[in-house]
Chain A
């Protein structure tokens, strides 16, 4: 399994054709206390860059994009009851949705952890 990052501060864990998507610790710090999350329904087809989920803090609302194309296999229902998971464990329990990838070649343009760290440092 390998983890990739995007410039939109999302992470994606890939295991074969299956992927899990969330937002990074840096992103949750920027948002502040998350109060509401909307995750996509199972079976929803997403193209790379499509709006996939919504995350809201008290003062900000952001869209979470699909980092790569695929079909949603699961949304994290736990977030509806406890959106604070995104603040406490953004890169673990606070995942947003799982995807069946339709084109793994799209992963090639994404960053690895070292590159993302460097990217954040440059902001």
Chain B
């Protein structure tokens, strides 16, 4: 048992110091009938590294690795190239095996990273402040809705129909218990988003309007008028960004007046990881900072006047406020925030803009090629690296047939909206810097075959 350092002699010496005859005596508070006498049945005994590795590798081999085939999936999780130094640095034991920085004198590494991360996120989103991260984009989105409720003292949230359906699902599940009124619907396959409709729907009960940018179909529209209308009605604009790389190419939601901007930071540093762990991004205007959920890192000085960082404004949080806390969240997504921040530092402004431009240009070219296929049309007028096409056949079927040809060809809207038959022919395609021209050609020719 390679992780257990105590020897039989150690155990005997320790039992003698404690003054009991056996370890079982230490479990004397557990009622006799609840104590297990032997090892639990139906589970294997301990195994060597080699044996465990063999088993896990066998399971891993059953999956089709994204990087081994032409790959075009997105819909809230994006495949970008993560530089080697990111994974090297996050595996340093001082980051990997540290705890929440409650003892700031010996956690300045984590704290300075969080301060830098908060600044990067705030600038990227065009906001005054950002927190130290949330679980993921979907939970950050729900937390933004509840935060808007606290600020406006209203209960009605209008969700754009372009918001990721899983994010909508999370909001609906939670709202049932909190008594919030969440208005949502499925998207329409048109080039225009529902921003004009949302503007009409805002009323004196509205706490916030939640709009994704770029939205689930990949579309983007200016949010300025929506922000102004929401604020005029005493409501907040919550913008959701699931692909932060886009903000290297387009205006940030904060610039367009959003009050709270949340997002999924997985695109940078984290990787696909089959859906988690990811990193929720959360930023807002300065005046709402005390209503923010989650951890915040702030600058201060030490007893010698040297600059240092601490967790701050923690009276908002559960360990002090208990049932009056702004959220029950206790952790952040520290290591993923670190990965995000390192990747962002490696990119810098120049790198991010180049990356965004590369993604966009490749996606535009791919969309042009796909539009050449008979019966295929592109829904979007505007997009960043993800767009929606309509196929002449059921898109779920097409995705499965492409997979049979070792092409991961996109996310069918039928998978995301199983009950919306009018969306069943729509396919969401993402093209990032990791897609080669040959990959796109392979997709186009395979799709031709599938459709013929």
Asked if A and B are interacting partners, one says yes
Partner of B321, one of A36, A58, A61: A61
Task: Report the Cα distance A36→B290, complex, angstroms.
Answer: 10
Interface size classification for chain A: under 10
Chain A contacts with B in 88-103, Cβ cutoff 8 A: none
User: Hey, which chain A residues are within 8 Å of B315, CB to CB?
Assistant: 35-36, 56-61
Tell me what chain A mostly uses at the interface: helix, strand, loop, or mixed: strand
Chain A 28-52 near chain B by CB (<8 Å), digits 1 or 0: 0000000110000000000000000
Is B320 an interface residue, CB under 8 A from the partner? yes
Contact A61 B290 (CB under 8 A): no
Report the bound CA distance from A77 to B315 in whole Å.
21
Cα(A59)–Cα(B290), bound, Å:
15
Would B320 and A60 count as touching, CB distance under 8 A?
Answer: yes
B197: shortest Cβ distance to chain A, in Å? Answer: 35
Q: How many B residues face the partner with a CB closer than 8 A? A: 6
Q: Which chain B residues lie closer than 8 Å to A36 at the CB level? A: 290, 315
Chain B residue contacts of A58, Cβ below 8 A? 314-315
Contacts of A59 in B (CB 8 A): 314-315, 320
Residues of A within 8 A of B324 (CB): 61
> Could you say which residues of chain B place their CB within 8 Å of the CB of A61?
315, 320-321, 324
Q: Mark B312-356, 1 if CB is under 8 A from A, else 0.
A: 001100001100100000000000000000000000000000000
- Tell me how far the C-beta of B246 lies from the nearest C-beta in chain A, rounded to whole angstroms: 36
CA–CA, A36 and B321, complex, Å: 14
Q: Which of A36, A59, A60, A61 has the most CB of B within 10 A?
A: A61
Contacts of B321 in A (CB 8 A): 61
8 A Cβ contacts from B252-297 to A:
290
B290 proximity list for chain A (CB < 8 A): 36
| CB nearest neighbor in B for A54 | B315
Q: Quick one: which of B290, B314, B315, B324 has the most chain A CB within 10 A?
A: B315
CA distance A59 to B314 in the complex (A): 7
Using CB atoms, name the residue of chain A closest to B319. A59
B317 nearest in chain A by CB position: A61
Give the CA-CA distance A56 to B321 in the complex, in Å: 10
A91 to B320, CA, bound (A): 26
Given the complex of chains A and B, what is the CA–CA distance between A36 and B320 in angstroms? 14
With A and B bound together, what is the CA distance between A36 and B289 in angstroms? 13
Tell me how far the C-beta of A101 lies from the nearest C-beta in chain B, rounded to whole angstroms.
27
Chain B residues with CB under 8 A of A56: 315
The docked-state distance in angstroms from the alpha carbon of A99 to that of B320 is: 29
Q: Which residues of A contact B (CB under 8 A)?
A: 35-36, 56-61
16 cross-chain CB contacts under 8 A? A35-B315, A36-B290, A36-B315, A56-B315, A57-B315, A58-B314, A58-B315, A59-B314, A59-B315, A59-B320, A60-B315, A60-B320, A61-B315, A61-B320, A61-B321, A61-B324
Beyond the given A56-B315, A61-B324, please list 4 additional residue pairs across the A-B interface where CB-CB is below 8 A.
A36-B290, A58-B315, A59-B314, A60-B320
Q: Would you list the 3 A-B pairs with minimal beta carbon distance, nearest first?
A: A61-B315, A56-B315, A61-B321
